[in-house]
Amino acid sequence: MAGSLIKIDEEIVSSAVASVDLGGSNWDSSYDVYMVKLNNVVPSTDGQSLYCRVLESGTPNTTANYDWADKYFQVNTTFANEAQTNNTQWNWQPAIGSSTNESGQGIVYLFNFNNASEYSFFTKEMTYIRSDGNLKGGQGGGVFTSASACNGISIFMASGNISAGTFTLYGLKK
């Protein structure tokens, strides 16, 4: 993939913020597929889920049009399935820990974001250290069930702030 990832936007969080928006005024609509890289994401409050919404004209869409499903693999127990429909956000990672050495990582691919005639959707692979100290990984995807052009994403915690992390948006060169 050398040379095929074009960096569009990056936010490095080193002090608490309510959300991280990628794209918006920096959005480059010349790509069909985008990749979001999350590295060392830490919540301010222990055990928080990492959520995401699409941006439309730079503003997060808060309607109940978010569906998602995941398969989680856990070191301390068996796998788990989680899914929700008609939600007001996508759940990208549940229960990330905030203690030393606890953080979340992941790669997310975004599809159809520029097409106002189709639904936007994502696929993801994530790993993180939970608030109970156990490693958990997940694969899944979701769809935004409203045909609209999206120009980015807004990432935030279920409660509290994001205290650290690097968030990078790439376009995938054709």
CATH for 25: 2.60.120
CB 137 within 8 A of CB 127: yes
How many domains are there within the chain?
1
- Tell me the β-bridge partners of 155: 20, 52
Alpha carbon 44 to chain centroid, angstroms: 17
Question: Domain range holding 49?
Answer: 5-120+131-136+146-172
- CA-CA distances (angstroms) from residue 158 to 19, 28, 43, 45, 148? 10, 28, 9, 10, 25
Torsion of CA 144, 128, 41, 166, to 10 degrees: -80
Mean pLDDT, contiguous 10-residue spans, the chain (174 residues): 85 97 94 96 89 97 98 87 96 82 92 97 92 85 97 95 97 88
